[in-house]
């Protein structure tokens, strides 16, 4: 790759490589590597590295970082719900959008045949290159730098997009998750109150409050308020707000609450 191409790629990735060889390998398709090997002659032949091994490593780093982030961000989600959300975030369907936004097709090193067949726009090649680049960042800068790259480009924008789309995360049973969460903390079950119903019969809007009470059950510690086209949808969104609140509470407060409700303290 030419120096200006590497610089442009680094700017797009938000990372400067100390070892240029690793990023060049990450964007080298096997068709280009085999073509270069075929052009060699005599005893000077040597193997040319492509991005297949880096792709393997990058896939593992992506799975680790995504799993850890979802585990931390959604502490009350069940294993199946976390798995479903992770599967979406690491899917080819999502990663191709990330690769296109980073314009990785401009930087691929392809053999002549792959170039002629439109390789720069092929989904599989672009996603493989994205995973290989992630591995290159990991090898060159370490896990924390790779984690920040994944959060910045793969996870955070997509979760924000999904939430803006009306809470369309592939995890919808927030009420059940909230029920389990308050039970584990020794808190009363939340109350769902329909506070407003507006609009014509065929197109109503329901406003629901989910009220999280303190241990004595008298005062509301936090109130989630949401609207929806059905009471069920509004209740789910309000429950999601309560889950977010519980996740933001200091761990010391939760631990204290748990001790207060233990049989030994009664």
Q: Which residues are catalytic?
A: 59, 131
In terms of Cβ atoms closer than 10 Å to its own Cβ (0-12, 13-18, 19+), residue 172 is middle
**CA-to-CA distance for 14 and 16, rounded, in angstroms?**
7
Of residues 132, 110, 100, the one with CA closest to residue 26: 132
Q: What is 63-81 written as a DSSP string?
A: HHHHHHHHHHH-TT--HHH
**CA-to-CA distance for 129 and 124, rounded, in angstroms?**
9
237 touches 167 (CB < 8 A): yes
CA–chain centroid gap for 100, Å, is 17
CA–chain centroid gap for 72, Å, is 12
């Amino acid at each position: 790759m030419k120096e200006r191409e590497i610089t442009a790629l680094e700017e797009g990735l938000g990372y400067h490589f100390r070892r240029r060889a690793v990023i060049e390998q990450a964007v080298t398709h096997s068709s280009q590597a085999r073509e270069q090997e075929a052009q060699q002659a005599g005893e000077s032949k040597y193997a040319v590295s492509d991005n297949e091994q880096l792709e393997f490593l990058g896939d593992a780093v992506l799975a680790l970082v995504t799993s850890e982030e979802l585990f931390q961000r959604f502490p009350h989600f069940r294993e199946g719900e976390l798995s479903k959300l992770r599967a979406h975030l690491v899917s080819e369907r999502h990663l191709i959008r990330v690769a296109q936004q980073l314009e990785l097709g401009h930087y691929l090193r392809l053999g002549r045949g792959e170039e002629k067949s439109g390789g720069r726009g092929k989904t599989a090649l672009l996603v493989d290159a994205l995973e290989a680049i992630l591995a290159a960042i990991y090898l060159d800068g370490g896990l924390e730098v790779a984690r920040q790259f994944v959060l910045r480009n793969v996870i955070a924008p997509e979760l924000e997009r999904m939430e803006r789309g009306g809470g369309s995360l592939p995890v919808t049973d927030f009420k059940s998750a909230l029920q389990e969460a308050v039970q584990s903390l020794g808190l009363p079950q939340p109350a769902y109150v329909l506070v407003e119903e507006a609009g014509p019969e065929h197109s109503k809007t329901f406003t629901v409050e989910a009220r999280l009470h303190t241990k004595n059950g008298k005062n509301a510690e936090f109130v989630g308020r949401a609207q929806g086209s059905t009471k069920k949808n509004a209740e789910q969104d309000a429950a999601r707000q309560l889950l977010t609140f519980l996740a933001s509470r200091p761990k010391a407060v939760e631990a204290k609450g748990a001790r207060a409700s233990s049989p030994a303290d009664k």
